[in-house]
Amino acid sequence: MRLSTDEKLRREIAALYDVLGEALGTEKVVMRAGKLGTLKEMRSSAIPERLLALQRLVFEDPTLETRPAKAQYKQVIAEIEDRLAYLLAQRTVGDQLEAKVSAKMVARHNEYLRELRLEALREATGPETPATEKRLHDLTALDRRGLARAALDVLRPKSLGQVVGQEPAIKALIAKLASPYPQHVILYGPPGVGKTTVARLALERAKSRAHAPFAPDAPFVEAAGPTLRWDNRETTNPLLGSVHDPIYQGARRDFADGGVPEPKLGLVTKAHGGVLFIDEIGEMDPAMQTRLLKVLEDKRVSFESSYYDEHDPNVPAYVKKLFRDGAPADFVLIGATTRDPEAIDAAIRSRCAAVYFEPLTHVQVARIVREAAQRLGAKVTRRVPELIASYTIEGRKAVQVLADAYGHALERAGSQRAASVREEDVLEVVQAGRIVQHTPARARRRKVIGKAHGLGVLQYVGSIIEIEAAAFPARETHKGSVRFNDTAGSMARDAVFNAASVIRAVTGVDPADWDLHVNVVGGGNIDGPSAGLAFFLALYSALDRIALPQDVAVTGEVSLAGAVRGVGGVVEKLYAARQAGMRAIVIPRENARDIEAAPEGIEVIVVATVVEALAALDLRIPAPPPPRTRRTKVTR
Catalytic center residues: 530, 573
3 state SS of 187: strand
Helices marked H in 476-594: 490-507, 532-544, 570-579
Amino acid at 154: V
> What is the distance between the alpha carbons of residues 607 and 536, in angstroms, rounded to a whole number?
14
HSE, side-chain direction, 13 A CA sphere, residue 133: 5
End-to-end alpha carbon distance in the chain: 156
Using the Cα atoms of residue 430, residue 468, residue 491 and residue 189 in order, give the sign of their dihedral: positive
For helices 395-413 and 362-376, angle between their N-to-C axes, nearest 10 degrees: 50
From the CB of residue 276, how many other CB atoms can be counted at a distance below 10 Å?
27
> What is the distance between the alpha carbons of residues 620 and 147, in angstroms, rounded to a whole number?
67
What is residue 438's DSSP assignment?
S
> What is the distance between the alpha carbons of residues 456 and 465, in angstroms, rounded to a whole number?
7
3 state SS of 328: strand
386 contacts: CB under 8 Å, gap ≥ 6? 362, 366
Amino acid at 622: P
Integer CA distances (angstroms), 3 to 11, 12, 47, 310, in order: 10, 12, 16, 78
- DSSP conformation letters of 128-176: --HHHHHHHHHHHHHHH--PPPPHHHHHS-SSGGG--S-HHHHHHHHHH
> What is the distance between the alpha carbons of residues 577 and 573, in angstroms, rounded to a whole number?
6
In terms of Cβ atoms closer than 10 Å to its own Cβ (0-12, 13-18, 19+), residue 273 is: middle
- DSSP conformation letters of 287-311: HHHHHHHHHHHHSEE----TT--TT
φ/ψ region of 467 (left if φ > 0, alpha if ψ in -120 to 50, else beta) reads beta
> What is the distance between the alpha carbons of residues 385 and 380, in angstroms, rounded to a whole number?
8
Amino acid at 493: R
- Long-range contacts for 192-195 (Cβ within 8 Å, ≥24 apart)? 192/392, 192/393, 192/394, 192/395, 192/396, 192/397, 192/398, 193/165, 193/166, 193/357, 193/358, 193/359, 193/360, 193/394, 193/395, 194/157, 194/163, 194/164, 194/166, 194/357, 194/395, 195/279, 195/336, 195/357
597 contacts: CB under 8 Å, gap ≥ 6? none
CB 200 within 8 A of CB 162: no
Tell me phi and psi for residue 360, to 5 degrees: -85, 140
CB 168 within 8 A of CB 194: no
